[in-house]
Structure 1
Amino acid sequence: METLGGPGAMVATILDSVFPPIPSELILPLAGFTAYRGGMTLAGAIIWSTLGSLIGALILYWAGAALGRERVNAIARKVPLVDVHDIDQGFEWFERHGRTVTFFGRMVPMVRSMVSIPAGVERMPLAVFCLLTTLGSLGWNAALILGGYALGSQWARIEEWAGWFQYAVIAFFVVLIARWVRQKLKGRRTP
């Protein structure tokens, strides 16, 4: 990022989107720190990183669209401890809550990347997918970049704060899943 400026932030966020082990909680505050030091503008860091998040999400969206549900299930059958029935239920859940998951999922590690695949498989309208991905990524990216910028040379401290926000988003999804499980169990009891 120091060398490439904004395009470097874009490349880093593309990699973060496609390869989940690369943590945005470190990349984005570093982009803010780079802006703090004058390596790029603050607005440039936010715009370029959000563009990178969208491009990475589109790569996975198109992968999901190209694979389709049957191929995703075939791949899932080969993964140890993965139940294809759970994958099917995940797709059904995505059909009902896809827009919410696409937006808020941009703020949750691993979900940030993986949500694009069912969006592609289910052929979520591309304009809707791009809008929700951009807005969710913009909020997350801006918060971490602004945090890194505000902290200046202590930019690494933002990772601690980002963790608390992630816990809140994860709790939101746990509540949604719990409601879904409760409804499923309630449906089984009804004769």
Structure 2
Amino acid sequence: MADWIQNLMDSMGYFGILFLMIVENVFPPIPSELIMPSAGFAAARGDMNLVVVVLMGTLGSVLGTLPLYYLGRAFGEKRLMEWADKHGKWLTLSGKDIKQADDWFDRHGTKAVLFGRMVPGIRSLLSLPAGMSEMPMVKFLIYSAIGSALWSGALATAGYLLGENYDQVEQYIGPASRIILGVVVIAAVVWFIRRRQAAGRNEA
């Protein structure tokens, strides 16, 4: 994959970075931990400008958040609450749970988007609850842009400094992203089991 990413950027230049970072947010198996360090290495070779690399990476990352954001907006809190009350019993999920989660995101959503954009494994998924909670578009874009700029800048700079060893960035961050995603999945499973147990006790 590293060779394919590098070849795409060699042929498309800055627009290759833009395209790859948009796709990365929709299709996470193409990791930013490989895209941006590779672009940083291209800047170190003198083929690109590091500042423009970071700007294009940030722009692509922000644009890539929009499909999931609008998907969340399409569902919305009200529709999701109605669905949970009708069909969420097997998940022990109710409209009240959706309301509580939405209220939490209303209070902490800006911090979640800002810092979540720098957390591999979940950075692209945060757009969905942001849309569901109807976070204002301008606020969502601002905090997404700040978090994405910090993330893209750090990765591109690492690739710039590491040179031909830029792929070491993905070797370190890749396992971390899988661990984080695994922790999220385990937490969701534990929550589901506990809710099922609590529901069983209440019925008894």
Given the two structures, how large is their TM-score scaled by the length of structure 2? 0.71
Q: How does 1:24-173 map to 2 (within 5 A)?
A: 24-69=32-77, 74=83, 84-85=93-94, 88=98, 89-160=100-171, 162=173
Percent identity between matched residues is 41
Residue 93 of structure 1 deviates from its aligned partner by 2.6
Residue 70 of structure 1 deviates from its aligned partner by 5.3
1:23–1:69 CA distance, 2 compared to 1 (3 A): same
What is the one-letter code of the residue matched to 1:148? G
Residue 131 of structure 1 deviates from its aligned partner by 0.7
**Residue 7 in structure 1 maps to residue 8 in structure 2:** no
The answer as to whether partners of 1:6 and 1:48 remain within 8 angstroms in 2 is yes
The answer as to whether partners of 2:121 and 2:177 remain within 8 angstroms in 1 is no
What is the one-letter code of the residue matched to 2:159? G
1:39–1:96 CA distance, 2 compared to 1 (3 A): same
Give me the whole-angstrom Cα distance separating, in 2, the residues matched to 1:163 and 1:32.
18
**Secondary structure at the residue paired with 2:30?**
coil
**Secondary structure at the residue paired with 1:111?**
coil
Gaps of at least 5 residues in structure 1 are 182-191
Residue 11 of structure 1 deviates from its aligned partner by 0.6
1:115–1:67 CA distance, 2 compared to 1 (3 A): same
Give me the whole-angstrom Cα distance separating, in 2, the residues matched to 1:82 and 1:37.
53
Give me the whole-angstrom Cα distance separating, in 1, the residues matched to 2:47 and 2:70.
33
Give me the whole-angstrom Cα distance separating, in 1, the residues matched to 2:51 and 2:32.
17
The answer as to whether partners of 1:68 and 1:121 remain within 8 angstroms in 2 is yes
**Secondary structure at the residue paired with 1:152?**
helix
The answer as to whether partners of 1:18 and 1:57 remain within 8 angstroms in 2 is yes
Paired residues in the alignment total: 170
1:165–1:110 CA distance, 2 compared to 1 (3 A): closer
1:72–1:148 CA distance, 2 compared to 1 (3 A): farther
Which residue matches 2:25? 17
Give me the whole-angstrom Cα distance separating, in 1, the residues matched to 2:126 and 2:18.
20
| Higher Cα radius of gyration | 2
What is the one-letter code of the residue matched to 1:52? G
Which moved further from structure 2: 36-45 or 96-105?
36-45
What is the one-letter code of the residue matched to 2:108? H
Residue 134 of structure 1 deviates from its aligned partner by 0.3
Give me the whole-angstrom Cα distance separating, in 1, the residues matched to 2:94 and 2:33.
33
The answer as to whether partners of 2:36 and 2:152 remain within 8 angstroms in 1 is yes
